[in-house]
Structure formats: structure tokens, C-alpha cells
A and B are shown apart, each in its own frame.
Chain A
Amino acid sequence: MKLELRGITKRFGALVANDHINLTVEPGEIHCLLGENGAGKSTLMNVLYGLYTADEGEVLLDGEVQHFRGPGDAMAAGIGMVHQHFMLIPVFTVAENVMLGNETTLSGGRLDIQAAREKVRAIADRFGFHVDPDALIEDLPVGVQQRVEIIKALSRDAKVLIFDEPTAVLTPQETDEFMGIMRQLRDEGAAIVFITHKLREVREVADRITVVRRGAVVGEATADQPDSELAAMMVGRAVELTVHKDEPRYAETSLEVSGLEVTNAQGAVVVDDVSFTVRGGEILVIAGVQGNGQTELTEALVGLEHASAGSVRLAGKELVGRSVNQVLDAGVGFIPEDRSTDGLVGEFTVAENLMLDRRQGPPFVRAGMLQLGARDDFARNAVEEFDIRTQGITEPVARLSGGNQQKVVVARELSRELRLLVAAQPTRGVDVGSIEFIHKRIVATRDAGVPVVVISTELDEAVALGDRILVMYRGRVVGIVPADTPRDVLGLMMAGIAPEGSAAA
């Protein structure tokens, strides 16, 4: 089925999320929609999927104009979408999830689960997936869950498949397998829209590339164009994709973590006997697929999570057992993984957010009273220095773009006297321009002799930023390796396979 979008325009108030976008996807092709976060890719796909109504423009399938009132209509017309966050019910089986919303019943209203099972098996066999129709979703690895989503779409005879940032949760190996699946689907004649901002993936599978920036199509590209050209199209200017940094100059202060263990509320050990050392002036990147204990590890480092065993010593001083406040006072800067939940108070102004974790005394508080003058001066300087694009320091931070929000967090944490920086996913959901800036600031902090721990699930970032890379898998350290370790070795490590000759610390 041929998909055509003509002149799609979607406005949210004054913001034009999609500005007369044209897009054609032929059957049997993988069409990449490349753009930064906030460029309007997801909005466009939500229009296509019937979740939003376009203000202007039309959606055509095989030349016929469609009027979707909701995802139900879109599905019925043959459009399937695999969301970034899976829409599966964890306590249901694979077959139950696949039939959900499209249940067939036997006499007396009984669900025809047998038919669903057979459907799952048939599709799984066709593509060589190994999926047990009776397995519970919650017991399946993320990569397999994604296949269930694909099966679900295919079970409704989807001819147009939309993948919205599908690789964010996958290991490099799973990503490779996923690319294979996409090619297979294409070869069977499906029209595929692949949304991503990762250049590597685009070049690997795309038949055609459409680049979107600020809600408008800025051009088409081919897969053989170099990264720098694609990035420049995405951002609208030339960007440096590599991080320039000199050899580390080690300083005195160091962070020593030994035998750290964290148990979650259910009693499962999520950080298991983790030990490492970061010297002043170096960046240690903690890599791994999302959900392998990195979050809990960082939270334990800053006192947000209770460590059931082990120690964290900063310049010889024990941090385990201290409150978050005491940890911050000890000179630890923390960029949390999820800025909107953990890093910022959305309704607070830029200025208020810039003092969020500095309420304990001068310069912003004296005798229990806020020093608004000092705060606003600081905020104005920070906005300038960190290039935070805002209408003013009194603008609620929720109105800023993701990249600028992140810069507020970075500005706050880096404007203090630091003895350790812990940055969790510092560039997630941040535009390429801001990534460049944030990376530079992190390297500058390292060069000032501060030990830096960066948590990243993006291999590119880990390799670019790290002096050394620690890979975590299921709460344990797989190994600590130099940053120039080959990517396939790192990929295997992320799947839990330790490289030969490396000591699992």
C-alpha cells in the first residue's frame, strides 16, 4: 500500500508542529524520518495514526483520501504503529496482547484464544521470531516485547508500519536483529516509516531519507551521505559530532566505589557488588542497555537510594548513609536521568530552578530569606553563559524546549564548586546543538580535575565522551575497558558477555 501525506499542518496554539509536510512512502521501501527531538516527527505520525486531527492537509492510502477519527480507523485501514514505549499489558500473555482490541469470540462470548495463538505462531514462523504465544509479556526481554508489538500490527494486516524510535531500548545486537526484521518486512512489500535521530541506523537501512526540522521538511537525503551532512541538515548548521578532549591530567580527588549493592522494594538485588574508581580529571562512562541497574547505581551514589552494602568514598570521605543534602554539600553535582521528573520543577521559573538545590545558605538564602537580587543576577549570568534560550528568567521552565531545560540543569550543577560530577543521560532528548554544548561543558569539568561519572545508554556517546567505559548488565559490572575498545566488543558486553582478558572488576 502506498502512503501519501499531503500538506499536513498541525498547530498547537502558536506553535506550528507540522508545517505543510509532504511525504510519500512506497510499498517495499524503508523511509527514514530523520530529525531532532521536537522536530515534529512524532506529531506527524500521530496525525497519520489518527491520534491528532490535522489542521490542514490530507492522508492518502493508495491514492484515496482517508479520514481517521482515531487509531481504530487507522488500524482498520492497514496502518500499524510500534510506539517507543510499548503498549502491552505486562500480565497478559503474548496471544492475549495480540488479540486485545480485536478479539474474536466463540459462542457465549468466550474469547477465541486458540485462534490468537495460531495467528501468533503463523506470523512468528513467517519471520523466524521465536515467540511463545503463552508467555507472559513481563517475562520477556525488551527485544522480544518489541517483536510482539510487530506481530500485533501484522496480525491486523498492516501494510504500512510506523516505528517510532524503536531502537532506544535495544542492545546493539538487538538493534542489528531489528534492522534485519525491518528489511524482511520491506521485502514482503510493507511500506515502512522509521523514525529516528540516530544517523548510524539511518545509513544502515534507509531506502529514502526525509529530514525534518522545526516542523518542516528540509530536504531528502541518501544513505550514502556522510554523517556530518545529515547532522547539518537536521540541525540547520554545521555541528561537530566528535568530542575534542586532551589526554586526561589526573588530579588528587577521586571517587572510590566498592562492593556497592542496592536492593529494590521487592527485595531483588538491582546493583550487585559494583566496584570502580574514578580519578580526578577523567570521565568514566557507565554504559549498558537501559534498565540494567544504572539508574539505581546513580541514585545510590547521590544518596537517593539506600545502599544495602558497600561504600562510596569521595576523596576518602564516606558518602553512603548520608542524606541527599549532605551529599550535595560534599560537592557532588548531579544531573538526573529524567530532567522533567527529577531535575526541574516545571511550574517554577528558570531562576527558581537554578537555585533548586542551593537553598541552604549564601548566596541565595540568608537567615531563611530568599535573596532574590542575588538569585536573579546569577540566573541572568547563567542564561548568558550556558546559552539558555528563554524569554526571560521568570519564564516557567516547562515552556522551554528539552535542550534548554537540560541546560538549566547543567548550569545549576556546574555553577557550583564541584568535587564530583554524576551525569545520568545528560543528552537524552536533547537537540544536537545542545548535545555539543553539554559535552563540552562536561569535558571542561573533567579538565578542571573533577572526577566525572557519565551514565549513557548510547554507545556513540559513551565512546565519544569516556576515558574509560564500564559496562553494566543485570546489575553487575561486566568489565571496565578503555574507550577505544571496538564497538562489537562493547555490544557483546552490553549483552552480558565479558571480553577475554578483561578483569571484571
Chain B
Amino acid sequence: MSDTQTSAEHRRVADDSDRWREALHRIVSGSWAVSLGAIVLAVLGGSIMIIVTDPGVQQASAYFFSRPSDTFAAIGSSVGGAYYALFRGAVWDFGADSFAGAIRPLTQSLTMATPLIMAGLGVAVGFRAGLFNIGGRGQMLVAAAAGGWIGFAVDMPWPLHMLVAVLAGMVAGAVWAGIAGVLKAYTGAHEVITTIMLNYVGFYLVSYLLATPGLLQAPGSSNPKTPHMLTSAIMPDLLGRRYNLHLGFIFALLAVAYVWWLLNRSSTGFAFRAVGENPAAAKVAGIDVPRTTVSVMLVAGALVGLAGVTQVLGTVTTGFSYDIDAGIGFDAITVALLGGSRPIGVMFAAILFGAFKAGGSVMQAAEGVPIEIVQVVQALIVLFIAAPPLVRAVFRLPQPGKRPKRGKRAARRQEVAA
């Protein structure tokens, strides 16, 4: 009897992890239609927030029943104005007097998108292999520290200096994520917990380094901030000094191409995906699951690390502090979700989020709409992506009828329609 008992227990444990996996799988591999629907719904949600917080609307709604048209006009101008400003700040500046000036917001969006693409890819690779990498922040910080230190403390000619610094950052990120990978593979510690905890470790480690003279702190300063990066380590601007867009964007595109190749054309990626979809079958097929788990985390960490080092060598080259990650490690999760964990999808999702970031500040400055609205929109996107049946129901998209449970719902609707 003892073995039936243990096999039952086995099954129970397997069931639990299966449920996790299936939920994760459903969330991360949302279809294009769902992603698009989620964006639309989130923007609508954002509009409601704009409307309720707009002083003009509040005033006009006080006498709504005597002159409702005023309220509607106020709603129109607040929402329209806000999204117009967002567009102006993110894509095309209608007020500029030259093409060069008008296109500036778009380059700004791409600059903002650069680290999001990289880190988003890192998270997406994890998702595809069934791993939830929440440790973007820690990985970015240690990568920034390692790459940044090479960037200001070591003398080397360009472009070698920059490449070595980038490499150092990627290695640091890989090691940081790799710790979580090893813990998961050989002790079973859940990567969600270990990566979150490593965020704290990374944050305070880098804070300490930044506050300690002779390590990362700029000489002669008491601020927790590094010195300026050496010119030989800086990623050059792509479109001249007028624009912030730098070489990092090219690296990001290369990373997209590499991850696409890795996942779709390489045997390593095949193993990653097999482990992500069904680790039991992967094991039976001779794939070394623990080793694959570590490899996945190394690749993921290196990509997130690339984002970290790009921040210090490309975007903020005047020295950095412990806030250099700028929430990108977490936004990367959203980006990966929105992009359906596919490299091309991640790229577009990151550009969208970059546009939100770039446009959000213009929206605040021009229309007085709080920039937090943008974050609410981002949060709503994730919320809707995590509930595909909801989005499908709103837009009358067909529910995938593969599994009986979902099929049942579809069948019931048919019945109602009939």
C-alpha cells in the first residue's frame, strides 16, 4: 500500500505545480487579440480616471442637469487633451518648427524603450521556460555596479572599454539570477521568493558600495553616487547630440534577434521551451531539467543585466545612484506579459511602454494630468492580460474551446444565442 500512497501524494504535488504552471502559461502566452484588447480597455480605464480627477469636469458636473453639454465638453477636452499631449510627448511634436524637432519625442520613446526591451526579453525567456523572474531590480543594480565600475575606474580605448563594461554588466546580472537558478534547480527553492529576496540583497549591496569611498562612490563626494563615466565607455548617440537615442537601442534590437533565434531555432531554446511547457516530459526525453533551469536564469539575468549596464553607459552617463533601475526590473514583467513572451511582441510592448514614459511627463506638464495615470494604465493592462476570458468576453472574441471547461462556457453562449 505504501507505494500507492506515495504515488497519490506525488500526484497531488504534481497537480499543484501543474495548476501553477497552467495559470502561468495562460497568462504569459496571451494572443495578440487579447493584448490589444487589454490595451484598449486599460486606456478606457485611464480615461475614466482622467475624467474624475479633472477639475474642469468636476466644475461642470456640478450643474450637469441644467447644462449637461458643458460636462461632456469638459470630458472631451480633458480626455482628448490628455491623450493628445501623450501622443505629442511620445511620437510627434506638432508644435515643433522642424522635422528634427517634431521627431524628437519618438526618439525619446525609443530611448526609454531600450532597457525595457532588454529586461523584458530577460523576463520573457524565463516565462517561456516556466520561470517567474521577479528579480529584475537586483539584477539590474548589480549589473550597473559591475559595468559602471569598469566604465569609470578602468582605462581602456573605445570601443573595447564599452564592450568590456557591457560584458561585465551582463555577467553580473547572469550571476545574480544564476544564484536563484541554482537554488531552484538543486534545492527546489521557488524562484519567485529567491529573486525577490535577491532584490533586497542587491539593493543594499549596491547602496553600500555607493556609500563607501574607494568603491563606487565618487571621490570627494559624500553622496551615494558614482563618478561620471569615462568617454571611452559611453555608448555613442545614434542620431547626434540633439537626441538621447544611443547605441544601446541597437543592442536591444540585436538582443531581440538573438532571443528569437534562441527560442525558435536553437536546440538549447527547444530544451528551454520543453522544460517550460512540461518538465516531466522534458526529463523523460533526457533533458537535464536542473541544468536547464540554471541556464535559463543565466540567459535571463544576462539580458536584464544588459538593461542595467545600458542605463549607466547610455542613458544616464553622469554617474548613477541606487535608483538607476528606475522600476524597469518590474516594468519588464509587464512588458513580457503584454508581449506574450515572444521576442517581437516584447519589443513592441516595450516601445509602447517607452512611449507612455516619454509622453507621460509631457502630459503632466501640458495638461496637468498626473503622471501616475500612466502607471495606472500600465497596471490595468496587466490586470486584463491576466484575465483573458474577461477581455474576450468584452470584445466578443471566441474563447478557445480546446478544454471542456472553457468549451462549456462557449457552448452555453451558443445556447443563449440560439
Which of A142, A268, A291, A365 has the largest count of B CB atoms less than 10 A from its CB? A291
Q: Known interface pairs A12-B411, A341-B280, A368-B266. Does A356 touch B3 (Cβ–Cβ under 8 Å)? A: no
Q: Contact between B6 and A264 (Cβ–Cβ < 8 Å)?
A: yes
Stretch of B101-109, B158-166, B322-330, B400-408 with 4 or more beta carbons under 8 angstroms from chain A:
B400-408
Contact of B288 with A by CB under 8 A = yes
Q: Contact between A475 and B278 (Cβ–Cβ < 8 Å)?
A: no
Q: Contact between B268 and A324 (Cβ–Cβ < 8 Å)?
A: no
Q: Known interface pairs A142-B4, A370-B265. Does A12 touch B404 (Cβ–Cβ under 8 Å)? A: yes
Q: Contact between A343 and B1 (Cβ–Cβ < 8 Å)?
A: no
Q: Contact between B277 and A346 (Cβ–Cβ < 8 Å)?
A: yes
- Closest-CB distance, B226 to chain A (whole angstroms): 38
Q: Known interface pairs A12-B411, A13-B411, A345-B278. Does A359 touch B271 (Cβ–Cβ under 8 Å)? A: yes
Stretch of A115-123, A241-249, A292-300, A439-447 with 4 or more beta carbons under 8 angstroms from chain B:
A292-300
Residues of A within 8 A of B6 (CB): 264-266, 268, 270
Residues of B within 8 A of A67 (CB): none
Contact of B401 among A12, A90, A270, A359 (CB under 8 A): A12
Which of B8, B271, B280, B411 has the largest count of A CB atoms less than 10 A from its CB? B411
Please tell me the size bucket of the interface on B.
Answer: 35 or more
Contact of A53 among B277, B402, B412 (CB under 8 A): B412
Q: Which residue of A lies closest to B399 (CB)?
A: A13
Q: Known interface pairs A304-B284, A356-B285, A475-B3. Does A90 touch B271 (Cβ–Cβ under 8 Å)? A: no
Using a Cβ–Cβ cut-off of 8 Å, how many residues does chain A contribute to the interface with B? Answer: 58
Instruction: Report B147-159 CB contacts with A as 1/0, cut-off 8 Å.
Output: 0000000000000
Contact of A387 with B by CB under 8 A = no
For residues 1 through 60 of chain B, which have their beta carbon under 8 Å from a beta carbon of chain A? 1-8, 14, 25
Contact of B274 among A55, A345, A399, A475 (CB under 8 A): A345
Contact of B97 with A by CB under 8 A = no
Contact of A138 among B5, B25, B265, B286 (CB under 8 A): B5
Contact of B179 with A by CB under 8 A = no
Cα(A14)–Cα(B414), bound, Å: 11
Q: Contact between A345 and B401 (Cβ–Cβ < 8 Å)?
A: no
Q: Contact between A304 and B283 (Cβ–Cβ < 8 Å)?
A: yes
For residues 276 through 311 of chain B, which have their beta carbon under 8 Å from a beta carbon of chain A? 277-278, 280-288
Residues of A within 8 A of B25 (CB): 347
Contact of A139 among B1, B8, B280, B282 (CB under 8 A): B1
Cα(A266)–Cα(B278), bound, Å: 25
Residues of B within 8 A of A68 (CB): none
Q: Which residue of A lies closest to B407 (CB)?
A: A12
Cα(A152)–Cα(B4), bound, Å: 22
Q: Contact between A336 and B267 (Cβ–Cβ < 8 Å)?
A: no
Q: Which residue of B lies closest to A292 (CB)?
A: B3
- Closest-CB distance, B279 to chain A (whole angstroms): 10
Q: Contact between B402 and A268 (Cβ–Cβ < 8 Å)?
A: no
Contact of A352 with B by CB under 8 A = yes
Contact of A357 with B by CB under 8 A = yes
Cα(A11)–Cα(B281), bound, Å: 31
Contact of A323 among B286, B402, B412 (CB under 8 A): B286
Cα(A260)–Cα(B401), bound, Å: 46
Q: Known interface pairs A268-B6, A359-B267. Does A55 touch B411 (Cβ–Cβ under 8 Å)? A: yes
Residues of B within 8 A of A104 (CB): none
- Closest-CB distance, B277 to chain A (whole angstroms): 5
- Closest-CB distance, B241 to chain A (whole angstroms): 41
Contact of A348 with B by CB under 8 A = yes
Q: Which residue of A lies closest to B286 (CB)?
A: A325
Q: Contact between B8 and A90 (Cβ–Cβ < 8 Å)?
A: yes
Q: Contact between A356 and B281 (Cβ–Cβ < 8 Å)?
A: yes
Cα(A270)–Cα(B6), bound, Å: 10
Q: Known interface pairs A359-B270, A370-B266. Does A325 touch B7 (Cβ–Cβ under 8 Å)? A: no
Q: Contact between B278 and A341 (Cβ–Cβ < 8 Å)?
A: yes
Q: Known interface pairs A291-B4, A368-B268. Does A346 touch B284 (Cβ–Cβ under 8 Å)? A: no
Residues of B within 8 A of A475 (CB): 3
Contact of B277 among A11, A293, A345 (CB under 8 A): A345
- Closest-CB distance, B343 to chain A (whole angstroms): 16
Instruction: Report A335-376 CB contacts with B as 1/0, cut-off 8 Å.
Output: 010000111111110001001110110000100111010000
Residues of B within 8 A of A15 (CB): 401, 407
Q: Contact between A334 and B284 (Cβ–Cβ < 8 Å)?
A: yes
Q: Contact between A291 and B7 (Cβ–Cβ < 8 Å)?
A: yes
User: Can you list 6 contacts pairing A with B, beta carbon distance less than 8 Å?
Assistant: A12-B410, A53-B408, A138-B5, A141-B1, A325-B288, A360-B286
B residues in contact (CB < 8 Å) with A:
1-8, 14, 25, 265-268, 270-271, 273-274, 277-278, 280-288, 401-402, 404, 407-408, 410-412, 414-415
By Cβ-Cβ distance, the 9 closest A-B pairs, closest first, are A13-B401, A12-B407, A325-B286, A357-B285, A291-B4, A324-B286, A365-B267, A356-B285, A345-B278
**Further pairs besides A359-B267, A359-B287, A475-B3: 14, Cβ < 8 Å:** A11-B411, A55-B414, A264-B2, A270-B2, A304-B284, A324-B284, A328-B285, A336-B284, A342-B281, A345-B281, A347-B278, A356-B281, A356-B285, A360-B286
